[in-house]
C-alpha cells in the first residue's frame, strides 16, 4: 500500500511540475488574486530563427498539450472546485513567499543589491506580519515583488539563450534556462533541499503539486482563449516565451512588453498575432 501511495504521489507531482511551478518560479501571485488587467501582445509567428529542432519541439509540444488536456486541466479544475477562492489566494501568497530564497540568491549573483534588499524585506514582512506568508502586507508597504532565476543570472553574465527547446511537461525553454530551472535553482531553495535530504518525498511532491496546479489555475482559461485565436499556437508560444524572458532579464527596463502569464513551467504557452489577454 505504501508503494502504491508513493507512485500516486509521484504522478501528482508530475502534474504540479508541468504547471509550474518552482514551482520555483517566476511570477507573482496567481492571476485570480490580482486586479483585472488587459494586455495587448504581439507575437511574430513567422520568426523561426533559433529553432533548428522545430520538428522535435512540435512533437513534444503536442505531447504536452495532451498531458494538459488529460491530466493537468482536470486536476486544476478539481482544485478550484474544492478550494475556496480565499484559501487559494492564501496558498498563492505562501508559495510566492517560499520562492524568496531563490529570488534573493539570484538578485545577489546579478549584483542587484537594491532588489536583493527588497526581496529580503518582503520575506521578513510577509513571514511575520503575513503569518507565514499566507498574506502579502509587503506589497501594501510598497515592496513590490519581482522574479529572478538562474537562467536570468546566466543571461546577465553574458550567456546566450542558445536554441529553442520544448521540454516534456515543462514547456518552452532553452539550454540556458533549463540549466537554471532543472539544476541550479533547486540548491537555492532551503525548504526543498531539506525535504529532499530528509527523504520527505510526500511533502516535497505535495508542495510541487499544489504549487503547480495553483499557478496553472490562474491562467488556464486565458490560455484556452488564446489557443482558439492563434494562427499557429506553437509559433506564437515560442515568440511569447522569448519576449517574456527578454523582459525578465532586462528587469522590465528595456523591453516594452505588457504583463503576460508565466510560461516557463507550464506545458504550453500563449498567444497569436495579436491577442487581448484578460487576467482574472
Under a CB-based contact definition with an 8 Å cutoff, are residues 205 and 199 in contact?
Answer: no
Question: Distance between CA 45 and CA 272 in Å, rounded?
Answer: 7
Cell 507512485 locates to: 7
3-state SS string for the chain: CHHHHHHHHHHHHHHHHHHEEEEECCCCCCHHHCCCEEEEEECCCCCCCCCCCHHHHHHHHHHHHHHHHHHHHHHHHHHHHHCCHHHHHHHHHHHHHHCHHHHHHHHHHCCCHHHHHHHHHHHHHHHHCCCCCCCCHHHHCCCCCCCCCHHHHHHHCCCCCCCCEEECCCEEECHHHHHHHHHHHHHHCHHHHHHHHCCCHHHHHHHHHHHHHHHHHCCHHHHHHHHHHCCCHHHHHHHHHHHHHHHHHCCCCCCCCCCCCCCCCCCCCCCCCEEEEEEC
pLDDT in tens, the chain (280 residues): 444 444 444 444 444 444 443 333 333 222 222 323 333 344 555 566 789 999 999 999 999 999 999 999 999 999 999 999 999 999 999 999 999 999 999 999 999 999 999 999 999 999 999 999 999 999 999 999 999 999 999 999 999 999 999 999 889 999 999 999 899 999 999 999 999 999 999 999 999 889 889 888 888 887 888 788 888 999 988 998 999 999 999 987 644 444 444 544 433 333 333 333 333 3
Res 144: pLDDT: 95
Distance CA 106, CA 121 (A): 16
**pLDDT at residue 222 in the model:** 79
Do 74 and 66 meet the contact criterion of CB atoms below 8 Å apart? no
Closest Cα partner for 261 from 278, 246, 274, 273? 278
Domain ranges of the chain: 2-88+165-279
Query: What span, in angstroms and rounded, lies between the C-alpha atoms of 103 and 147?
Result: 6
Q: Do 71 and 15 contact (CB within 8 A), yes or no? A: yes
d(CA 57, CA 249): 24
pLDDT in the model for residue 78: 94
Q: What is the per-residue pLDDT for 253?
A: 60
pTM: 0.75
What lies within 8 Å, CB to CB, of 162 at 6+ separation is: 50, 174, 175, 176
Give, in degrees to the nearest 5, the angle at Cα 23 between 20 and 25.
85
Model confidence pLDDT, tens digit, residues 79-127? 999 999 999 999 999 999 999 999 999 999 999 999 999 999 999 999 9
Amino acid at each position: 500500500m505504501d508503494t502504491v501511495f508513493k507512485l500516486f504521489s509521484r504522478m501528482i507531482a508530475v502534474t504540479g511540475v508541468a504547471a509550474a511551478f518552482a514551482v520555483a518560479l517566476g511570477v507573482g501571485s496567481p492571476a485570480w488574486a490580482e486586479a483585472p488587467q488587459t494586455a495587448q501582445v504581439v507575437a511574430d509567428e513567422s520568426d523561426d530563427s533559433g529553432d533548428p529542432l522545430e520538428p522535435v519541439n512540435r512533437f513534444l509540444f503536442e505531447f504536452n498539450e495532451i498531458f494538459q488536456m488529460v491530466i493537468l486541466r482536470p486536476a486544476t479544475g478539481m482544485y478550484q472546485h474544492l478550494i475556496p477562492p480565499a484559501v487559494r489566494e492564501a496558498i498563492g501568497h505562501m508559495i510566492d513567499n517560499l520562492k524568496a530564497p531563490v529570488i534573493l540568491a539570484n538578485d545577489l549573483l546579478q549584483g542587484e543589491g537594491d532588489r536583493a534588499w527588497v526581496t529580503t524585506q518582503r520575506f521578513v514582512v510577509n513571514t511575520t506580519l503575513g503569518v507565514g506568508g499566507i498574506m502579502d502586507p509587503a506589497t501594501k508597504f510598497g515592496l513590490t515583488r519581482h522574479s529572478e532565476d538562474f537562467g536570468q543570472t546566466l543571461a546577465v553574465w553574458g550567456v546566450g539563450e542558445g536554441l529553442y527547446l520544448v521540454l516534456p511537461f515543462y514547456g518552452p525553454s532553452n539550454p540556458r534556462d533549463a540549466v537554471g530551472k532543472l539544476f541550479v535553482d533547486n540548491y537555492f531553495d532551503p525548504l526543498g533541499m531539506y525535504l529532499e535530504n530528509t527523504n520527505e518525498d510526500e511533502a516535497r511532491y505535495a508542495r510541487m503539486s499544489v504549487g503547480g496546479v495553483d499557478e496553472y489555475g490562474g491562467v488556464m482559461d486565458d490560455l484556452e482563449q488564446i489557443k482558439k485565436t492563434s494562427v499557429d499556437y506553437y509559433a506564437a508560444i515560442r515568440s511569447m516565451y522569448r519576449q517574456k524572458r527578454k523582459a525578465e532579464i532586462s528587469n522590465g527596463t528595456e523591453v516594452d512588453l505588457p504583463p503576460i502569464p508565466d510560461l516557463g513551467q507550464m506545458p504550453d504557452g500563449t498567444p497569436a498575432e495579436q491577442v487581448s489577454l484578460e487576467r482574472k
